[in-house]
Structure 1
Amino acid sequence: MSRTPLPKSLARFNRVVTNRIQGVWAPFAPPLAVIVHKGRRTGREYRTPVLAFRDGRRLYVALPYGSDTDWVRNLLAEERGGVERLGRAGRLTEPRVVTEGTDASGAGLPGLARRIVRHMDVLVADIEEVPRGTARMPGRADTG
């Protein structure tokens, strides 16, 4: 069962207004990041600002609107995507949504991050750094 603490109306507003503004600084301002994903129907590349925390080779992305948002469904359908975080590009593999259990606890995360991911659905993915000098962002052809 999906835990959705924030209303869908706020999600729609954020998609149309806030995400366009946050997308400018999210790749550089932790704990924000940008998830790059391919549309299931359009094949178009999309960029979605998110709240993300890293623990080693694992990325935890808070899902305040639940796991049925378009960007989550796109990432799960493709089984890969990209991320821009701290000014660096990375590839995401094996994305999965966790609603409870030890995988969502983020045991290695700082206290605040651990509390956040404990109270909502979380997308967990393995992350691989993209070497500097390669494509700036792992798009369709570069996600592996």
Structure 2
Amino acid sequence: MVLSRRVARFNRVATNRVSKYVVGWAPGFGMIVHKGRKSGTEYRTPVNVFRAADGFVVALTYGPGADWVKNVLAEGGCTVITRRRSHRVYDPELVHDETRQLMPPVVRQILGLLDVQDFMVLRRE
């Protein structure tokens, strides 16, 4: 069921403006700072992000076709802000995992309800 374009549009206009005050410090949340592929404009996108062995893993709740995902792939990296720290990350890799093993157990269940099966793995510099 990955979240719809309608939900994405609402979040971009309303929810993201509020969440930007929470995602920098709340566990399981973060901000992806990336540049537009064509415009070069800097964007900040709130995401569900979790630590991985050598970096981070991001749940792609809008699927792998989201603009921010395309921007990070084109750039070859981005900055992740989580828990009040900025991390430069690189080598983005899309992973399709129906079992959601990269996520913490409780998060797996929630993402299962949303049918999220795609993730982006980012390595720390």
TM-score bracket for the superposition, by shorter chain length: 0.7 to 0.9
> What is the deviation of 1:51?
0.6
Give the residue type in structure 1 aligned to 2:6.
S
Q: CA RMSD in A?
A: 2.0
Matched, 1:110 2:104: yes
Percent identity over the alignment? 41
8 Å CA contact 1:58, 1:125 repeated in 2: yes
Whole-angstrom distance in 2 between the partners of 1:68 and 1:125:
17
Which runs of 5 or more residues in structure 2 are unaligned?
none
Give the residue type in structure 1 aligned to 2:71.
N
> What is the deviation of 1:58?
2.6
Q: Counterpart of 1:60 in 2: which secondary structure?
A: strand
The structure with the largest alpha-carbon Rg is: 1
Whole-angstrom distance in 1 between the partners of 2:53 and 2:87:
13
Q: Counterpart of 1:18 in 2: which secondary structure?
A: helix
Map of 1:20 onto structure 2: 17
Whole-angstrom distance in 1 between the partners of 2:14 and 2:23:
14
From 113, 118, 122, give the equivalent of 1:121: 118
Whole-angstrom distance in 2 between the partners of 1:99 and 1:25:
28
Map of 1:60 onto structure 2: 57
Structure 1 residues 94, 101: closer, same or farther in 2, change over 3 A? farther
Which runs of 5 or more residues in structure 1 are unaligned?
129-144
TM-score (norm 1): 0.76
Give the residue type in structure 1 aligned to 2:57.
Y
Aligned positions, number: 122
Whole-angstrom distance in 1 between the partners of 2:49 and 2:61:
12
Map of 2:40 onto structure 1: 43
TM-score (norm 2): 0.87
- Cα deviations by residue, 1:77-123 (Å, 9 ceiling, x for unpaired): 00010010000110111111111378x622xx531234438842111
Q: Counterpart of 2:40 in 1: which secondary structure?
A: coil
